[in-house]
Amino acid sequence: MNEQELVEAFGKRIGLPGLSLGDEQCCAVTFDQDEVIIDHENNHLFLFSELGSASGHEKLYTTMLEANHLGQSSGFGSIGLDPERGCFTLTRVLVGPYDLKLFTEQVSLFVKNVRYWKRYLTEN
């Protein structure tokens, strides 16, 4: 299954039959209030989400870097800082071969981690 077919099958599974990577090779899906961007580049799929403003959270940089270490608290993703938007981000790179069941599980884990870090930023 190629990346386009995977995203289309995923869309059907979650009740969004029109979901597609489109001409720009990306799409966005919102789970409740959590937007996840699915991007296809260089035979990889990227899951990307903004976590919240970095302003005033400089003291959390160490915690977030520790979370990145071996992906232990980032769901095997990478927490980053978008300097243009001034926000923390979570990104996960997925490498094929692709399977709908595994992709669905990985997106679910990604969303759980997005929610965890958004809550963490709000509380700290």
Q: What is the pLDDT of residues 5-51, one digit of tens each?
A: 999 999 999 999 999 998 999 999 999 999 999 999 988 999 999 99
Q: What are phi and psi of 59, to 5 degrees?
A: -65, -15
Position 3 scores a pLDDT of 92
Q: Judge whether residue 55 has pLDDT over 90.
A: no
**What pTM was estimated for this model as a whole?**
0.90
> Number of helices and strands (H, E) in the chain?
3, 5
Between 3.30.1460.10, 3.30.365.10, 3.90.1300.10, 3.40.1390.10, what CATH number should domain 3-123 receive?
A: 3.30.1460.10
Which residue in the block uniquely carries the two structure tokens 């403003």?
53
- Helices within the chain (DSSP H only): 3-13, 61-68, 100-123
pLDDT for 57-99, tens place per residue?
A: 888 888 888 888 877 778 888 999 999 999 999 999 998 788 9
Find how far residue 55's CA is from the centre of its chain.
21
Provide the 8-state DSSP code for 20: -
